[in-house]
Structure 1
Amino acid sequence: HTVLIVLYIISLAGGTLGVIMMSQQLFQRRSRSVMTVMIISLLVLHTFMLLSIPFRLSYYILGEWKFDRFACRLASAIIYLHMYATFAFYVAIIVARLLHLELRKCCTTAWVGAVWLVGALVITPVLLSYYGTSKPYKPSECFQFHRELQEARMVMANYCLTGILVVMSAVLTVIQLTVIYRVAVKYWPDINSHVEFRAQAKSFFFILVTLVCFMPHHVFRVYYIQNYNLDKDQKLLLYNEVFLALTTMCCLDMLCFIAGISH
């Protein structure tokens, strides 16, 4: 569990620092741009996820779950909700820049609000109603919901989510690289002096985060589901947890925002 502890500590420390610094920067700027609305949404998402990390750390350090079963399910579900919601906002930012969409703040706020309402009032309650409830678990254990993979609906859900993320990431990567290449050729050699090139290059940051943080988990997830029954010593389970912990590293994007890399 040492690797898990290190990854979660890095995410917690770096993510918390990024959230605090970005919050201060947004308060000082008082910007009302569309990008600011997106950043605030990511900021809130990261905050919820960061609040769940101490629960995970306590379990991996102590080797025993000290809280109730609902807290275990909630802490486990948050990391998945955070990952897919973050990916959704990344895609929205990338597509908006690719299509040069100049959305009004009111439209963006309404869209973001709708996403939050659906997530909070529909997806989260449904997930918590079924996640980790079909099998009996020891009170002292947590994050052991791999036995849920015996359920056909869980296998199907995992395959669907993996397929959607992998396909969308691959398509966006190809499109984004193509656009960057065309813009670079168009404005060469003074590419850095053009706003269009800088905007498209910065959009690739979100794709890079997806490829580094989210893609490994989903690719391995397929292998894990197919070989779950052969994992007698639970090595695959540990690898799966490590890749899941890697997804939390995306919260370091706030530090990149502050550095001006991605916005």
Structure 2
Amino acid sequence: MGSDSNRTYYDLPAAYRYSLLGIYIIVFLGGIVSVAMMIGVLKSNIRSVTTLAVVNLIVVHILFLLSVPFRIYFYAVNHWHLGTNFCKLVSSLIHAHMYVAIIFYVVILVARYVNFFQRPDRMEFYRRLHALGASLAVWVIILCVALPVTFENYGQSKDRNETLCFNFGGALKNPAVVTINYILSAGVLLTTIGLACCQLYILYCVYKKYGQSSFSHQEFWAQIKSLCFVLVMVVCFMPYHLFRIYYVSNYHPDLEMQNEVFLAVTALSCFDMLTFLSRPGCRPACSNCCHF
């Protein structure tokens, strides 16, 4: 192979840097606005499964947004001065943000699907302590399993340029890392496709029930909001995981830049909170449609 096939990208192309810089600036500013507006309208019933998931989503977004200025800094100056370990922490947060957000999207959508088919008054934990325990379990898995695994397997290459950040593709030489990536990508893709099919079926059921008058029913708009979460998963997460399978299968240092662009697109999921800000008025006949 020629020398170009063995290089790591020490000089990031300007178009690539500026594209990522623009994406992360939009994510940072828009994410702050989205989360701030959502906090102002959040309901207080923390025992509701969907409300609890939304609260956790807000926390996930806030933690990730704290790391975004460091990404903006790196792509603005094209140099990393903050050490390899801090780089790995910042890099880990965008992955943690993506997968934890997916977990809570699934919780929200499954809870709504159960509400649609079984019509309970509301899915709730019996006590707030139970709700706190469920949230804590997810965070323990992330903090005690996912992050340590990331630190252990990424950024260990001796020929890494420590003046750069987010270039951990060399870890894909480890078969275990490759396997984990395949499993995660396949799991996200299959989950997203399954949720999309279920949501389309529910919309079909609603349309079949109400016909041409569907647009005037709260239930229809409640399902449109659920569809918005599915669309976030399709638009923000599916492209990254589809490319990730190709990237892992055909790893080359030149592909790291494309991988980072697809990864940056996942951060646009921070805008998901805007879904709740245009809720149509609730009607007494459809109380189940009006909670989170």
> Does the TM-score normalized on the shorter chain lie above 0.5?
yes
Q: Which amino acid aligns with 1:69?
A: T
1:90 and 2:113 correspond: no
Matched, 1:56 2:79: no
Please state whether the residue corresponding to 1:188 is helix, strand or coil.
helix
| Larger RCO (CA within 8 A; separation ≥ 6) | 1
Equivalent residue runs for 1:119-198 within 5 Å: 119-198=142-221
RMSD: 2.0
Aligned residues: 257
For the pair 1:10 / 2:26, whether they are aligned, the reply is yes
- Indicate if the aligned counterparts of 1:213 and 1:247 stay in contact, CA closer than 8 A: yes
CA contact (8 A) 2:225 2:275 kept: no
One-letter amino acid matched to 1:249 = L
Amino acid at match of 1:153: A
Q: 1:72 aligns with which of 87, 94, 105?
A: 87
1:104 aligns with 2:124: yes
Deviations 1:173-227 (A, max 9, x none): 1111011111211122322344433322211111100000011111111112222
Name whichever of 114-123 and 71-80 sits farther off. Answer: 114-123
Q: Does the Cα contact within 8 Å between 1:97 and 1:199 map onto a contact in 2?
A: no
Q: Residue 46 of structure 1 contacts residue 82 of structure 1 at CA under 8 Å; is this kept in 2?
A: yes
Whole-Å Cα distance in 1 between the matches of residues 144 and 202 of structure 2? 37
Q: Give the conservation status (yes or no) of the 8 Å contact 1:135–1:148.
A: no
Q: Is the 8 A contact 2:50 2:111 kept in 1?
A: no
Q: Which has the larger radius of gyration?
A: 2
Alignment of 1:35-54 (within 5 A): 35-54=50-69
Q: Report the Cα distance in structure 2 between the residues aligned to 1:240 and 1:203, rounded to whole angstroms.
A: 28
Q: Output the TM-score relative to the length of structure 1.
A: 0.90
1:108 CA displacement: 4.0
Aligned letter for 1:214?
Answer: F
Cα deviation per residue 1:143-178 (whole Å; 9 max; x = unaligned)?
A: 110111111111111111000000111111111101
- Does residue 258 of structure 1 match 2:277? yes
1:25 corresponds to: 41
Q: Given residue 104 of structure 1, which amino acid in structure 2 is its aligned partner?
A: E
User: How far apart are 1:31 and its partner, in Å?
Assistant: 4.3
Q: What is the CA–CA distance in structure 1 between the aligned matches of 2:276 and 2:231, rounded to whole Å?
A: 14
Matching of residue 249 in structure 1 with residue 268 in structure 2: yes
Q: Given that residues 153 and 177 in structure 2 are in contact (C-alpha distance below 8 angstroms), is that contact kept between their aligned partners in structure 1?
A: no
Change (3 A) 1:48 1:131: same
Q: What is the distance in 2 between the residues matched to 1:74 and 1:165?
A: 23
1:99 match: secondary structure: helix
Aligned-residue sequence identity (percent) comes to 39
Structure 1: tracts of 5 or more residues without a match: none
Mean Cα displacement is larger for which, 112-121 or 189-198? 189-198
- The range that moved more, 207-216 or 120-129, is 120-129
Partner AA of 2:26 in structure 1: I
Q: TM-score, normalised by structure 2?
A: 0.81
Contact map agreement 1:5 1:57 (CA 8 A) in 2: yes
Q: Is the 8 A contact 2:49 2:108 kept in 1?
A: no
Q: Select the residue among 239, 247, 253 that pairs with 1:224.
A: 247
Query: CA offsets per residue over residues 41-88 of structure 1, 9 Å max, x none?
Result: 001100111111111111111111010211100000110011010011
One-letter code of the match for 1:238?
M
TM-aligned CA distance change 1:72 to 1:196, over 3 Å: same
